[in-house]
Structure 1
Amino acid sequence: MAALPPGEAGFHDVPDGPAGSAARGWWDANAHDYLAEHGEFLGAADLCWCPEGLREEQAGLLGTVAGRRILEVGAGAAQGARWLAGRGAQVVATDVSFGMLAAGRDLDETTGLRAPTVAADARALPFADGSFDVVFTAFGAIPFVPDADAVHAEVARVLRPGGRWVFAVTHPIRWAFPDDPSERGLTAIRSYFDRRPYVEADQTGGVAYAEFHRTLGDHVADLNCAGFHLERLVEPEWPAGHERSWGGWGPVRGAYLPGTAIFVCRRA
């Protein structure tokens, strides 16, 4: 396949290999800037599910956590894992980005809470079968790989029977609309069924960043194939008084369109 136009950003078919490996380099390069912009909102030791501000302390999507073996995949700087460690969970965090994990070690020092971390691709987890009671991710791993089914399969493998898998992603309906939090983001401009990933090219035409769209049906089919039962689909509403915009998320569009989908699942 021909290289992309240098510096191009848009929706393109790209080879799975370069697209699936781009996340590590992008997050390594942008970890500092990302945390400088969003770190205060996320908290150093908190589990925030989404830009709407839904937090696990209120939502309780993971169930009882004290004494449970919990894995966070696509953990970034492990803020969620750190919050769980402070509540008695036996928690481990993984991420593909060394830059984000390094930032997490700084947060360990700041908070006095340590979440053990492992550099790992969520499609090849370095843990034994049935190692965990709960696995979760808040916008990690799944949006950045072309083969999300491989993530679900690995999560199913490392979960005990009956274990819980909770993951948050951009709400699929949002892909039909421009990534704009203002009124301009309320008019659909693309087909919901166009599954081409959003891609940013580097100055050589290589894939620097890729994010993948899946319909709700795609997510459910992947879960079913991996042996999960979908117990809840949470679509957080934009809360009154929350004025912070984050990319395409914000109070104007949030009043009309869901921005986040959180899948609460159980392994057979």
Structure 2
Amino acid sequence: MEPIIQEPEGPEPEATRRDAGITESARANRGWWDRNADEYQVEHGTFLGDDRFVWCPEGLDEVEAELLGPPEELKDRAVLELGAGAAQCSRWLAAQGARPVALDISHRQLQHALRIGGAFPLVCADAGVLPFANGSFDLACSAYGALPFVADPRLVLREVHRVLRPGGRFVFSVTHPIRWAFPDEPGPEGLSVSGSYFDRTPYVEEDEQGRAVYVEHHRTLGDRVRDVAASGFRLVDLVEPQWPEWNSSEWGGWSPLRGRLIPGTAIFVCVRD
């Protein structure tokens, strides 16, 4: 079934850098993903597939990476996917015999999950306030979901820690922090430093009234490690995928040119002891 396209309304938002708190960020990003879910799935649906587990624009696939563990060990494991979008990753997990739950803040993204199909729960909720009991899951994962968009990532990490059972693994991918020092351009102009890596001021897109309609938050690599440790996790691996020869895709700041020179993704593999 083809998605029904909802055209975005109004003028293009203005981009700026300014503070944006927890509530403003959540409200803005819920609205952005509801408005742009159709376009996102059309643009990226072929690359993501309907039932693949792709960690990042580089194309690292869980089939090969096994960051959650060997596929044969996923059977009957309860897995929470945060920022699931159309739940492609959860669909792959279900095919391995796991029992996934796909959570997203965007109702429209989850409508795409319904459109594609899959026999597992879909939950529309904020990742910072998870509607699950303590120790509900064996594993948790997030491929570019939730964590780049929240003002306080420790709220999310602590919630994931709470709902995981002891020994549970949480693996999440985000834009590599070094990318914030470079322009978001795929060509040669995106290879020169244009800002401070240490400037943690959020990237905000505003409407004509100055209201945030999209927010993305920057954390340095050290910040991410400290967030993980302060939330009760043990960091067991940090994966920085190299750009593969087969991947000729180009969108936003991602391209073969940039990907072969500077990292684009950081994947944190964490364990709840």
TM-score w.r.t. the length of structure 2 is: 0.93
Aligned to 2:23: 17
- Offset at residue 242 of structure 1 (A): 1.3
- Offset at residue 21 of structure 1 (A): 2.1
Aligned to 1:201: 206
- The answer for unaligned runs of 5 or more in structure 2 is 1-11
User: Which residue of the other structure, out of 14, 28, 47, is the alignment partner of 2:34?
Assistant: 28
Superposed counterparts of 1:240-251, under 5 Å = 240-251=245-256
- Offset at residue 115 of structure 1 (A): 2.9
Q: 2:21, 2:151 within 8 Å by CA — same for their partners in 1?
A: no
Q: 2:99, 2:120 within 8 Å by CA — same for their partners in 1?
A: no
1:93 matches 2:98: no
- Offset at residue 241 of structure 1 (A): 2.7
Aligned to 2:46: 40
Aligned to 1:129: 134
Q: 1:7, 1:205 within 8 Å by CA — same for their partners in 2?
A: no
Distance 2:81 2:143 in 1: 9
Aligned to 1:50: 56
Q: 2:90, 2:102 within 8 Å by CA — same for their partners in 1?
A: yes
Structure 2 letter corresponding to 1:198:
Y
Aligned to 1:3: none
Aligned to 1:62: 68
Structure 2 letter corresponding to 1:123:
G
Distance 2:22 2:80 in 1: 26
Superposed counterparts of 1:177-196, under 5 Å = 177-196=182-201
Distance 1:180 1:71 in 2: 33
Secondary structure of the residue aligned to 1:169 is strand
Secondary structure of the residue aligned to 1:80 is helix
- Offset at residue 202 of structure 1 (A): 1.2
User: Which residue of the other structure, out of 76, 92, 99, is the alignment partner of 2:85?
Assistant: 76
TM-score w.r.t. the length of structure 1 is: 0.94
Superposed counterparts of 1:107-122, under 5 Å = 107-108=116-117, 113-122=118-127
Distance 1:258 1:14 in 2: 26
Secondary structure of the residue aligned to 1:134 is strand
Q: Deviations over 1:214-241 (max 9, x none)?
A: 0011111111111100000000000013
Structure 1 letter corresponding to 2:172:
F
- Offset at residue 46 of structure 1 (A): 1.0
Q: Deviations over 1:9-59 (max 9, x none)?
A: 022223442123211100000000000000010011111000000010111
Distance 1:254 1:169 in 2: 15
User: Which residue of the other structure, out of 156, 170, 174, is the alignment partner of 1:169?
Assistant: 174
Distance 1:94 1:237 in 2: 28
Q: Kindly report the root-mean-square deviation, in angstroms, between the aligned alpha carbons of the 2 structures.
A: 1.1
- Offset at residue 91 of structure 1 (A): 0.9
1:229 matches 2:238: no
Structure 2 letter corresponding to 1:195:
R
- Offset at residue 247 of structure 1 (A): 1.2
Aligned to 1:210: 215
Secondary structure of the residue aligned to 1:168 is strand
Distance 1:42 1:198 in 2: 25
Distance 1:65 1:84 in 2: 8
- Offset at residue 114 of structure 1 (A): 2.5
Q: 1:18, 1:207 within 8 Å by CA — same for their partners in 2?
A: yes
Aligned to 2:14: 8
Structure 2 letter corresponding to 1:246:
W
Secondary structure of the residue aligned to 1:263 is strand
Distance 1:116 1:225 in 2: 30
